[in-house]
């Protein structure tokens, strides 16, 4: 299956790769939400190819689910992945879709 530039992929089950991306931005999320997450598990994800890749990842934080938008720049930039936006208050059944800041 090919993904056109700018289009979001189908939702897929999160793998170790998506969990690692979430782990890289966990401290940023905790800082922005002023919360500490003891449960923090990537559940599913979608990707969007831009000048790099946006990952939309559903994360179980215990009493609710967060949707994270993590930007992974192109490798040649040598820049790290970053938390671009998040949405709180989701459930396991919430649809994971595109969102902006």
Running DSSP on this structure, what letter comes out for residue 81? Answer: P
How far is residue 58's CA from residue 14's CA, in Å, rounded to a whole number? 9
- Give the tokens for residue 101: 């800041």
12-90 CATH, one of 3.30.450.20, 3.10.450.10, 1.20.1580.10, 3.30.2320.50: 3.10.450.10
Query: Hey, how many other C-beta atoms are within 10 angstroms of the C-beta on 44?
Result: 17
pLDDT in tens, 45-100: 999 999 999 999 999 999 999 999 999 999 999 999 999 999 999 999 999 988 88
How far is residue 93's CA from residue 36's CA, in Å, rounded to a whole number? 23
């Amino acid at each position: 299956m090919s993904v056109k530039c700018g289009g979001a992929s189908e939702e897929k089950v999160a793998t170790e790769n998506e969990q690692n991306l979430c782990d890289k931005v966990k401290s940023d999320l905790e800082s922005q939400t002023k919360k500490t997450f003891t449960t923090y598990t990537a559940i599913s994800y979608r990707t969007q190819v831009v000048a790099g890749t946006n990952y939309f990842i559903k994360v179980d934080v215990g009493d609710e689910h967060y949707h994270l938008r993590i930007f992974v720049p192109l490798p040649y930039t040598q820049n790290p992945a970053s938390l671009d936006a998040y949405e709180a208050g989701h459930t396991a059944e919430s649809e994971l879709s595109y969102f902006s800041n």
